[in-house]
Structure 1
């Protein structure tokens, strides 16, 4: 795949952020946006264990989508203290994904500041994500096509992202927000998935306190290089096409997929995975034919 490093800045004004990145829909890492947050100094795994250790949290692993499981349904639960002990003891595939921890632990709301960066952020409590060493978040894009401010704390994670126009190379599963789950984006099998060679995206590593801006509808694959956790703030898409796609995803696509899982079971999942290969390889053939003329 053709990956380039995401541009980095130490700090940025909101006018420059909007004109240089949001309007152009280009990602950027801002390294020092959180240095005046209490969270910058406090948010380590030990602090989360102390303040939220008694909370029962939903956990996900890397098992493939199964028709018997609900939409974004957790695979198990665990006390936060036990989960953090696990993260610190050894690598684990268990992750916390899209969890509203601040609802359960309101004191955490005092540790972060809504950044004045030019985006009108959705003022719901931020969602958190935790992962152990080498755990991975499958390649996907968000259902609402939002602009995402993704802040990382404690340790380091790698982020691989692709613009929406690269969907044609990523073996997107129909009626879903994911690519084929058997693709190893760290070491792609180009014999099985040849279109990936054409995919053009970005890559970066986030360290404690750094923020990644992901524009509307960007695909993202995350790998925790060390145990750590992240927080995402979001701003609704400004592009009218993206707004319409978000509405379709939320109001139609998700419910259609749930209905088909109910009636066709695993056959529906298998059908979609096969169509992902057929559709992508057809796109690749068409592009090769176009370039040959």
Structure 2
């Protein structure tokens, strides 16, 4: 740690580097109480935070993210009680609860130089906090609400007949039960979306009854309730009021999952844990799912699990991913719990889908796929597509460059897997289309 801080001397503002070096000295000397250390680190932390939020995130210099990670790790380690017998259990738990966000902030915003340590510390701290939880009546009430949401998500599947596509040429997705890898390669070459069934029932995350690893609102509150995660605020990312906020999983559940924000009557904004690489932050949740063998089917000889990217999606009914495409990667959306309505269009329909002209949103359609304005977007009525209802234990195969719209019908847990495929399996874009610039 000392060598790392010294290596930042030529990159950071000199005053910032001096403050960081002084924090390091206080850490090793242990000459301040935790409150004094927190106050001493506050200025340099806020200054570094501002550097992270100046301009586009992808353009933030690495040295500011390294400095931010150093500060957060030092603050977290300094807070830890260290097994002091002078502190009662309640006081120790409060110290643990105040230390935990420091490690999550490092994982979420810092350069990943400390990630191996931060993930282990955060997981261990949360387990200690969980062991000390006293289930008072307010928490018991929350458990009942959590169970109610799980029961609702596990109810009978909605009928596809309930989703009106008018006279538009949209047909039901084909459902295929556990195709062999050879069959899947053939389907990949065809380039059509479909629902794949019977291939993930054995995942621990899918086993919600009598299984501590089954994913549910209640189990997430218990296992990761104090962890910080990024939450999207707003019905969809194309809205002007859309934003993001860091909050604990429990706060997210109480504020957005258990209060009916996804109902038609609710006027509250929708919150969504969306497209987050949660398994890098909380690896123990990643042990509850498995990378599907189908992600190894690419037409190439060097595909392995390390090249597959995964994201977690958790939210209430009403969350929407507007009609968009993922460019050249194949995608499997696996539904752990709950139900989602999906609409898809293959790449050859792109000219009928009205992509945004703004380069930042070029992979997103201007059309509300479920409730299109056919006066403003008349060609959309000609687009040939697919639709279906994705339920627990099912996978949706989304071919490369395939446009897709997704709306949660219930509280929902999903994981998607992206992987690269042979260029022969990537369809061409129609001409006069900004998607080719993606």
Question: Could you tell me the TM-score, scaled by structure 2's length?
Answer: 0.51
1:126 equivalent among 310, 324, 333: 310
Alpha-carbon distance between aligned partners in 2 of 1:66 and 1:84, rounded to the nearest angstrom: 22
Q: Structure 2: which 5+ runs fail to align?
A: 1-167, 208-213, 263-269, 298-302, 430-435
Q: Is the counterpart of residue 149 in structure 1 residue 326 in structure 2? A: no
Pairing partner for 1:171 from 351, 354, 359? 354
- Deviation of the 1:63 alpha carbon: 5.7
Please list the CA deviations of residues 13-55 of structure 1 after superposition, one character each: whole Å capped at 9, or x if unmatched: 1111111x10111112112110121121112222222222112
What CA distance in whole angstroms lies between the structure 2 residues aligned with 1:178 and 1:133? 22
Matched, 1:39 2:205: yes
- Residue of structure 2 equivalent to 1:8: 175
How far is 1:94 from its partner?
Answer: 1.7
CA distance in 2 between counterparts of 1:243 and 1:188 reads 26
Query: Structure 2 CA distance, aligned partners of 1:5 and 1:122?
Result: 31
Residue number among 72, 75, 93 corresponding to 2:244 in the alignment: 75
Alpha-carbon distance between aligned partners in 2 of 1:203 and 1:167, rounded to the nearest angstrom:
17
Q: What whole-Å deviation, never above 9, does each CA across 1:188-230 have from its counterpart, x for those lacking one? A: 1211110110111111111111101111111111000011121
Q: 1:3 to 1:107 in 2, by over 3 A?
A: same
Counterpart-to-counterpart distance in 1, 2:275 and 2:426: 21
Q: Say if 2:407 is the partner of 1:223.
A: yes
Contact preservation (8 Å) 2:323, 2:368: no
Partner of 1:112: 289
Q: What are the Cα deviations for residues 108-149 of structure 1, in whole angstroms up to 9, with x where unaligned? A: 122112222352465255211123212211111114x21111
Q: Look at both structures and tell me which one has the larger radius of gyration over its CA atoms.
A: 2
Contact 2:309 2:418 (C-alpha < 8 Å) held by counterparts: no
Residues 84-93 or 38-47, more deviating: 84-93
Within 5 A, what are the aligned runs for 1:261-272? none
* Residue 62 (structure 1) shift: 3.0
| Preserved contact between residue 122 and residue 234 of structure 1 (Cα < 8 Å) | no
**Moved segments of 4+, more than 6 Å:** none
What are the Cα deviations for residues 257-283 of structure 1, in whole angstroms up to 9, with x where unaligned? xxxxxxxxxxxxxxxxxxxxxxxxxxx
**TM-score if structure 1 supplies the norm length?**
0.74
Q: Judging changes above 3 Å, is the alpha-carbon distance between structure 1 residues 216 and 104 closer, same or farther for their aligned structure 2 residues? A: same
1:62 aligns with 2:238: no
Higher helix share: 2
Give the 3-state SS of the residue equivalent to 1:75 in structure 2: strand
Say which SS state the counterpart of residue 127 (structure 1) adopts: strand
Q: 3-state SS of the aligned residue for 2:405?
A: strand
Name the CA shift for 1:63/1:127 in 2 (closer, same or farther; >3 Å): closer
2:225 aligned with 1:53, yes or no? yes
Task: After superposing the two structures, state which structure 1 stretch, 130-139 or 117-126, moved more.
Answer: 117-126
Deviations 1:94-113 (A, max 9, x none): 22221011112111122112
Instruction: Pick closer, same or farther for the CA change 1:187–1:14 going to 2, 3 Å.
Output: same
- Counterpart CA distance in 1 for 2:284 and 2:324 is 31
Partner of residue 258, structure 2: 88
Cα–Cα, structure 1 residues 110 and 64, in superposed 2: closer, same or farther, change >3 Å? closer
- Report the Cα offset of residue 10 of structure 1: 2.4
Give me the whole-angstrom Cα distance separating, in 2, the residues matched to 1:197 and 1:98.
Answer: 30
Q: Which of structures 1 and 2 has the larger relative contact order (alpha carbons within 8 angstroms, sep 6+)?
A: 1
Distance 2:401 2:352 in 1: 15
Gaps of 5+ in 1: 246-251, 255-293
